[in-house]
């Protein structure tokens, strides 16, 4: 009898441990988030229309799955501390909205702050975000988000936590453990606006490494530089988050291509931040380039590294998961076009590879020596070597 009890106890512990901590390695998530374009000016009608557009535009076919509702849905708290939503914006409620998103074959994301007050309450004067952060309400809010409403993703900001001078590791780990107890498959994002530290790299699915992205190329380059040496902290299922995409938000076509390519090369989550209901042909072309997306979703899960910095031109190399295949990105940071001669020997590449241009969707033949490329102002060439 004693042996049976020990066996049952062991099995329960193993099962619980697997439920709490074991996750199959996942590539970075792909989807859409409301913040970049709409900030706190969101409502359920607009969110539903974004979900519709994600499916009908072809983005679903390219791999996008998440519709993430960021700050702006809050309605404060009642006298008992229960979280309320803004009924004028979301009259049908959050469960109905999550159900609608799920009905499209998509996953639904939600937002909170680690402190008492949300970022929108501080920076966008959204008074209903005051006291709406998760601080002091960890269990109840997580139950609401994931059991009652049925969301699949949580972004946890830090504006309120910073104002309260909270310890970030303490607060985030408390929230992560609460979330994982409910559902180990919830995708968790630490939005701390800088690399948070090694405490996060196996606990969170992703973590922000920078301040908020802006719709200009200087911002894009700054974030790339911040991530250049963080590849050592990225691993299967755990990624450096370079922030939501600004593709289609006012930069040039070449800048959008460079931005998107580097987010793919560096394994950042791919969360479109534009209005999906009104996209140009060029914006959609960038966001749905399946050959470039495949680098981000590659099962080798390796973040690219900057190997060559030659003036304004950089060469980044990403090891792919199949055989000895690689992806190369040649990035032109300059404000004018550059002609660059790629020397594979400088990259330590001596094998003769077939080369494919992933933006031209064109085979370039076999290359084992130097090859010249003309790269547009703020442009990029992305190659697959196989």
Q: Which residues have a catalytic role annotated? A: 157, 212
Q: Hey, how many other C-beta atoms are within 10 angstroms of the C-beta on 151?
A: 27
- Cα–Cα distance for residue pair 18/22, rounded to 1 Å: 5
Instruction: Give me the phi and psi of 2, to 5 degrees please.
Output: -60, -40
Burial readout 89-107 (b: 16 or more C-beta within 10 A, e: otherwise): bbeeebeebbebbbebebb
Classify strands 187-190 and 153-157 as parallel, antiparallel or unpaired: parallel
Output the DSSP codes for 141-201: HHIIIIIIS---EEEEE-HHHHHTT--HHHHHHHHHHHHHHH-TT-EEEE--SS---GGGT
Q: Hey, how many other C-beta atoms are within 10 angstroms of the C-beta on 9?
A: 10
CA trace torsion 369, 374, 380, 381 (10° rounding): -40
Going by the DSSP 8-state scheme, the letter that residue 369 receives in this structure is S
The answer to whether the beta carbons of residues 270 and 296 sit under 8 Å apart is yes
Opening angle at CA 109, ends 191 and 82, nearest 5: 85
Which residue in this structure is represented by tokens 């000895």?
324
């Amino acid at each position: 009898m004693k042996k049976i009890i020990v066996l049952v106890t062991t099995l329960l512990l193993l099962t619980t441990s697997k439920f709490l901590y074991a996750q199959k390695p996942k590539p970075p998530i792909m989807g859409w988030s409301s913040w970049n374009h709409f900030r706190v000016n969101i409502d359920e009608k607009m969110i539903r229309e974004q979900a519709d557009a994600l499916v009908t535009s072809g983005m679903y076919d390219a791999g996008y799955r998440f519709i993430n509702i960021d700050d702006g849905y809050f309605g404060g708290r009642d006298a008992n501390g229960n979280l309320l939503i803004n009924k004028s914006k979301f009259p049908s409620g959050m469960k109905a909205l999550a159900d609608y998103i799920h009905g499209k074959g998509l996953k639904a994301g939600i937002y909170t702050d680690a402190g008492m007050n949300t970022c929108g309450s501080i920076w966008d004067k959204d008074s209903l975000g005051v006291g709406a952060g998760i601080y002091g309400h960890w269990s109840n809010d997580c139950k609401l988000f994931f059991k009652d409403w049925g969301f699949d993703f949580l972004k946890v900001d830090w504006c309120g936590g910073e104002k309260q001078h909270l310890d970030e590791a303490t607060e985030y780990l408390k929230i992560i453990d609460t979330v994982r107890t409910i559902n180990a498959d919830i995708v968790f994002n630490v939005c701390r606006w800088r690399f948070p530290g090694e405490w996060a790299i196996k606990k969170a699915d992703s973590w922000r490494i920078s301040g908020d992205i802006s719709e200009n190329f200087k911002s894009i380059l700054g974030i790339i530089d911040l991530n250049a040496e963080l590849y050592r902290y990225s691993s299967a299922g755990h990624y450096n988050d370079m922030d939501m995409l600004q593709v289609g938000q006012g930069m040039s076509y070449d800048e959008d291509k460079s931005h998107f390519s580097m987010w793919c090369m560096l394994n950042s989550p791919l969360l479109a931040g534009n209005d999906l209901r009104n996209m140009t042909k060029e914006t959609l072309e960038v966001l749905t380039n399946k050959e470039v997306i495949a680098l981000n979703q590659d099962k080798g899960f390796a973040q690219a590294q900057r190997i060559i910095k030659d003036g304004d031109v950089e060469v980044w190399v990403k090891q792919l998961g199949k055989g000895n295949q690689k992806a190369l990105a040649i990035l032109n940071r300059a404000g004018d076009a550059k002609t660059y001669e790629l020397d594979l020997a400088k990259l330590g590449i001596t094998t003769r590879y077939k080369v494919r241009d992933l933006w031209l969707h064109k085979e370039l033949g076999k290359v084992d020596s130097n090859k010249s490329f003309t790269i547009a102002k703020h442009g990029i060439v992305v190659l697959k070597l196989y």
